[in-house]
Amino acid sequence: MKKIVAVSGSLRTDSYNTNLLNKLSNIFKDEVEYEILDISSVPLFNEDIENDKNKYIDSLKNKIKNSDFVIISTPEYNYSVSGVLKNALDWFSRGENPVFENKDVGILSASPSKF
């Protein structure tokens, strides 16, 4: 069975982007293994510690590395992605175990505004 992991760039309780990822689970329910990763406890990226063992970061990176596809859903913050998502992507794409090499990734966004 294919594995898909998803990451929401919003930590807000009633986030449009997290809700969108939850809705996708209904579409995929019997066809793939699907998990939304929790990035709320990812520490601020610091190059001094990027190769230190951090069980939380290692767990998230392993889930991405072992997936077939990654979905990122991000709000727009000041014409960019959210800081929390950028921070998580820094952790995932750097260090001794970068996880996006040869990985299929899709990016989407949800917003109540027409912007």
Percentage of the chain modeled with pLDDT above 70:
99
Residue 73 lies in a domain: yes
Residue 8 bridge partners (DSSP): 73
3-state SS assignment for residue 89: helix
* pLDDT score for 74: 93
CA atoms lying within 13 Å on the CB side of residue 88: 25
* pLDDT score for 78: 85
Q: Residue 56: what are its φ and ψ, rounded to 5°?
A: -65, -50
Digit-coded pLDDT (tens) for 31-80:
899 999 999 999 999 999 988 889 999 999 999 999 999 999 999 888 88
Is there a contact between 115 and 76 (Cβ–Cβ < 8 Å)? Answer: yes
Which helix H or strand E contains 16, and what residues bound it?
helix 16-28
Residue 113 lies in a domain: no
Q: How many domains are contained in the chain? A: 1
CATH of the domain at 89: 3.40.50.360
pTM of the model: 0.91
* pLDDT score for 115: 64
